[in-house]
Amino acid sequence: MTKHVPLLIGAILLGAAGAVSAQTTAPSSTPSAGSSTVAPEASQPSGSSSTQQFAKLDKDQDGMISKKEASKDTKLSKGFSTADESKDGKLDPAEFAQFEAGGSEGSLPMTP
């Protein structure tokens, strides 16, 4: 029995080392098959200037533009109520993109 103790301790240590190694491995940058990861850009308005403008106005980076955040842009501030089609007091990326494209009734397209 005493002959097997060092072997048993070695096996335990080897297993523990493997577990630590598995926990410290950096995650892969490519999603695995069947993964439903959505790129951050997917939630932003289409078009790089629209995306940049949205990000610039979204100061708290919550993915929405509040009325306070919109006040930094004169045209958006004036057309905010019309652009806020869901009437939740915030513009989501789709509402912002529609406003910027001049799609909201009574709104003016923004200029960079």
Q: What predicted TM-score, i.e. pTM, was given to this entire model?
A: 0.51
> Domain for residue 85, yes or no?
yes
Could you tell me the residue range of the domain that residue 63 belongs to? 46-100
Number of structural domains (the chain) is 1
> Domain for residue 60, yes or no?
yes
How far apart (Å, rounded) are the C-alpha atoms in residues 96 and 94?
Answer: 5
pLDDT, tens only, 50-99: 889 999 999 999 999 999 999 999 999 999 999 999 999 999 999 999 99
Contact yes or no for 30/39 (Cβ under 8 A)? no
Confidence (pLDDT) at 58: 96
User: Residue 35: pLDDT above 80?
Assistant: no
CATH code of 54's domain: 1.10.238.10
> Domain for residue 33, yes or no?
no
Q: Which two tokens stand for residue 29?
A: 């940058």
How far apart (Å, rounded) are the C-alpha atoms in residues 85 and 96?
Answer: 10
> Domain for residue 52, yes or no?
yes
Contact yes or no for 17/23 (Cβ under 8 A)? no
